[in-house]
Amino acid sequence: MLDLRALTYLVTLARRANYARAADDLGISQPALTRAIQSLERQLGMRLFDRDRSGVNPTPQGRVFIDRAAVLVANADDLERQTQLTADGREGVVRFGMAPMPARALLSATLSRRLAEAQAMINDVVVRNVEALWPLLTAGEIEFFVSAEGQVPDASSVRAEPLGHFPTGLIVRRGHPLLDGAHQGETFPVLLSSRMGGVLLDMLPASASRSPHCIEDFETLSALTASSDAIWVNSSFAAARECEAGVLQELPFPEADAPRRMRIMMYSLERRTLSPAARSLKQELRRQIAILAKRAGKQSG
């Protein structure tokens, strides 16, 4: 069987046409290179190079063999490079899911960075509520998904890893009656992105409707909140763009209530090893949450 290292020596010598220069490129001694070429010639039963005052030149049969060997060496180099990229999480395909709220806050910034750093990695992302993401995970159609804690079934097969915390609040339009106490017995509609958000309904003021509307599309939720007196049960992280623009703002918490936080989790199957790409995404998601928290801290300060 042909030795790939010997073929690399052969191709390098043919390219450099000089034993000393080829040995230097390969990081070996000239006698070691000479012995390797001689051993390969004996194995093949033919002379590969002629050596004279003009240098080292392939024989006719050597040229045919060298051309084919060069293809093998190039393919091996490419395989090694691709394997390394895959091992580093920079090449391949990663399939994952996100619930709408963390997707609105994190997905664009996370993928923007990943597209710049890992251009050969294909990201296949679904944004759905947890009740739709869970069967995709258990069926192996996605490697992991990201959502707020407390929304997945209790299962020993699931791996739950914390990514960070989001603040939980009530988002309204600028000039909303609740901001200045100008409402006179009005009842305000309530918007949720998921029925799972119903666990936060105890945060609502007495004037809020107890029959919330559930709308999965965040662009619609944002537009409705900005154009009506609806109260959006959400995180300011997922409405950061609108809040920074002054279109929406968060209702202040009553003095008796401390601000609330929800833990954002990455869920995967315990029995399956996370790919390098998934591990890279986990770290980037944590980084993006930290950036949002730092930005929110500066604004509140």
Q: What is the pLDDT along the chain (301 residues), one digit of tens a residue?
A: 778 888 888 888 888 888 888 888 889 998 998 898 899 889 889 998 988 777 788 898 888 888 888 888 877 776 665 566 455 556 678 899 999 999 999 999 999 988 888 787 889 999 998 889 988 988 888 989 999 988 887 766 889 999 999 998 899 999 998 888 766 678 899 998 877 555 566 777 888 887 889 888 889 999 999 999 999 988 989 998 898 899 999 888 765 566 678 899 999 988 888 888 888 899 999 999 999 999 887 666 5
C-alpha angle 188-194-195 in degrees, rounded to nearest 5: 80
Residues 151 and 219 in one domain: no
Residues 273 and 161 in one domain: yes
Residues 245 and 292 in one domain: no
94: closest CA among 114, 116, 135, 124?
124
Residue ranges making up the domain that contains 214: 167-261
Residues 69 and 108 in one domain: no
Domain end marker among 51, 69, 87: 87
Residues 18 and 63 in one domain: yes
Residues 257 and 172 in one domain: yes
As for how many domains the chain has, the answer is 3
Residues 253 and 286 in one domain: no
- Identify residue 135 by its one-letter amino acid code: P
Q: What is the CATH number of the domain that holds 103?
A: 3.40.190.10
Residues 134 and 255 in one domain: no
Q: What is the CATH number of the domain that holds 17?
A: 1.10.10.10
Q: Quote the pLDDT of residue 98.
A: 95
Domain end marker among 87, 103, 131: 87
CA distance readout (Å), 196 to 2, 167, 168, 201, 301: 62, 16, 13, 10, 32
Residues 200 and 62 in one domain: no
Residues 246 and 172 in one domain: yes
Residues 158 and 187 in one domain: no
pTM exceeds cut of 0.75 = no
CA distance readout (Å), 70 to 17, 37, 38, 80, 251: 15, 15, 18, 15, 68
Residues 208 and 246 in one domain: yes
